[in-house]
Amino acid sequence: MQFGLTDEQRMMQEMAKDFAEKEILPTLKEDEAEHKFRPEIVKKMAELGFFGCAIPEEYGGNGFGFLESVICAEQIAKVSGSWRLPFNMQNIGPAVTVNKFGTEEQKKRFIPDWVNADSYGFFAITEPNSGSDVAGMGTVAVDCGDHWELTGQKMWISNAHIGDYGLVYAYTDKAKKYKGMTCFIVNLKDNEGIVTAPIETKLGLHCAPTGEISFDHAVIPKDSVLGEVGQGFQVCMFQLNNTRISCSAGALGIAGGAIAAAIDYANERTQFGKKIGSYQLVQGQIADMVAEHEAARLLVYRAAWLKDQGLPNQHQTSMAKLFASEAAVHAASETMKIFGSYGYSTEYPAERFLRDAHSLRVVEGTSNIQKTIVAGISLGDVPNR
């Protein structure tokens, strides 16, 4: 059993850490305040190979796997949770999913542009009245012979109003329930039947574009289907099981950033003539945070390793997502308390870590959904895939 990283993995880890500190951190406070998305950051991330993990080299991949993506995403999220999102939008979401289910033509056409950040990716599942209940979505696609017509609305979609090509899930046969769902590769640009709009009222992740997409009899090409007609639910579950590992990496990063800030502050701040880190209650807070963080990292890295080995991992991935996201919220909350009144100020990172951490309890399946998956597999009701 090996717990150390390879030389190449350590190199990628250090490269991601260096990038986050030099390219993201210097303007982060200003960018957060202005809810500013900077395209040049995504392009630079692509140039460093961050989006080529788990993708074959013939489609722009770099020979690395899910574990390397987790390692890099963790370091980025340690500085900013917002900038972990491109790992899902450009790589682990659309690109990996198209590589699994796409035709050769689809792979060659779409994957390299996502990996190189020549186009912005997205995936649209959530709707105003369906979130955790994926099968409850209302968006429909009608076969019109030489094209499809897409009608419905998607909400809380990352990259919605800046996205180019991405995955949209819709019903092609509502009567078949989840077996009547289909996944489409959709171009959001230059289509009069598609309207996008930003959502700017978010609690956190202020530098990550989020929006809604409305489809009104939007005409999309016949060859837009990813996989088979009626295979969309299977495609969606495959995708979510992968994007959850990236969310878990984001949780590791946010928790790690919060813990580092808490330790620095506990060593600097003095009260009653002593640094606050010398008080046992503060030490207890830090000990709990550090222990949970280390446990979360083992869960997340193991799940990513299983993916790279092609072994069943849904059980481990959902455990990692559940534990890491809850640990991140706890670490961020404790960090805010250690900072005291300063933790409530936007002048310090504690409040941002807390705001960003809470998103990870919700996205890619809430903590309750992860508990349902973990329990179902543990009880033997469903297999571990």
Residue 160's CATH number: 2.40.110.10
Question: Both 100 and 138 in a single domain?
Answer: no
pLDDT at 301: 98
Considering only residues 151 and 2, tell me which one the structure prediction assigns the higher pLDDT.
151
Question: Both 55 and 157 in a single domain?
Answer: no
pLDDT at 60: 97
pLDDT at 6: 96
Question: Both 152 and 223 in a single domain?
Answer: yes
| Domain around 317 | 233-378
From residue 167, give the alpha-carbon distance in Å to each of 38, 80, 180, 349, 368: 23, 25, 16, 34, 25
> Domain for residue 2, yes or no?
no
CATH number at residue 68: 1.10.540.10
> Domain for residue 383, yes or no?
no
The last residue of a domain, from among 76, 92, 115: 115
* Rounded Cα distance, 147 and 149, in Å: 7
The last residue of a domain, from among 229, 264, 287: 229
For residue 346, name the pLDDT band (cuts at 50, 70, 90): very high
Question: Both 207 and 240 in a single domain?
Answer: no
The last residue of a domain, from among 229, 245, 265: 229
- Among residues 296, 353, 359, which one has the least CA distance to residue 322? 296
Q: What DSSP assignment string belongs to 1-19?
A: ---SPPHHHHHHHHHHHHH
Query: What is the percent of the chain with per-residue pLDDT over 90, rounded to a whole number?
Result: 98
Question: Both 374 and 239 in a single domain?
Answer: yes
* Rounded Cα distance, 51 and 121, in Å: 11
For residue 184, name the pLDDT band (cuts at 50, 70, 90): very high
Condensed to tens digits (0 to 9), the pLDDT of residues 144-158 reads: 999 999 999 999 999
For residue 2, name the pLDDT band (cuts at 50, 70, 90): confident
pLDDT at 186: 98
What is the number of H-type helices and E-type strands within the chain?
12, 10
> Domain for residue 355, yes or no?
yes
Longest dimension (CA), the chain: 79
Judge whether 127 counts as a catalytic residue: no
Question: Both 189 and 299 in a single domain?
Answer: no
Question: Both 224 and 258 in a single domain?
Answer: no
pLDDT at 132: 87
Question: Both 254 and 209 in a single domain?
Answer: no
Q: What DSSP assignment string belongs to 353-377?
A: HHHHHHHTTTTTS-HHHHHHHHHHH
Strand locations in the chain (E): 123-124, 140-143, 147-158, 165-171, 181-187, 194-198, 210-221, 225-226, 270-271, 274-275
Averaged pLDDT for residues 81-109: 98
> Domain for residue 385, yes or no?
no
Q: Is the pLDDT of residue 194 over 90?
A: yes
* Rounded Cα distance, 211 and 43, in Å: 21
Quick one: CA torsion of 263, 269, 271, 274, rounded to 10 degrees? 70
pLDDT at 1: 77
Question: Both 372 and 241 in a single domain?
Answer: yes
Question: Both 293 and 273 in a single domain?
Answer: yes
The active-site residue out of 68, 326, 334, 364 is 364
> Domain for residue 1, yes or no?
no
Averaged pLDDT for residues 263-268: 98
Question: Both 367 and 238 in a single domain?
Answer: yes
Averaged pLDDT for residues 67-71: 98
pLDDT at 38: 98
Averaged pLDDT for residues 232-252: 98
Do residues 176 and 230 lie in contact, with contact meaning Cβ atoms separated by under 8 Å? Answer: yes
pTM for this entry = 0.96
Condensed to tens digits (0 to 9), the pLDDT of residues 352-377 reads: 999 999 999 999 999 999 999 999 99
> Domain for residue 310, yes or no?
yes
> Domain for residue 384, yes or no?
no
Arithmetic mean of pLDDT over the chain: 97
The span from the first CA to the last CA of the chain, in angstroms, equals 23
> Domain for residue 271, yes or no?
yes
Total domains, the chain: 3
Question: Both 63 and 162 in a single domain?
Answer: no
Averaged pLDDT for residues 104-112: 98
Condensed to tens digits (0 to 9), the pLDDT of residues 12-41 reads: 999 999 999 999 999 999 999 999 999 999
Q: Is the pLDDT of residue 175 over 90?
A: yes
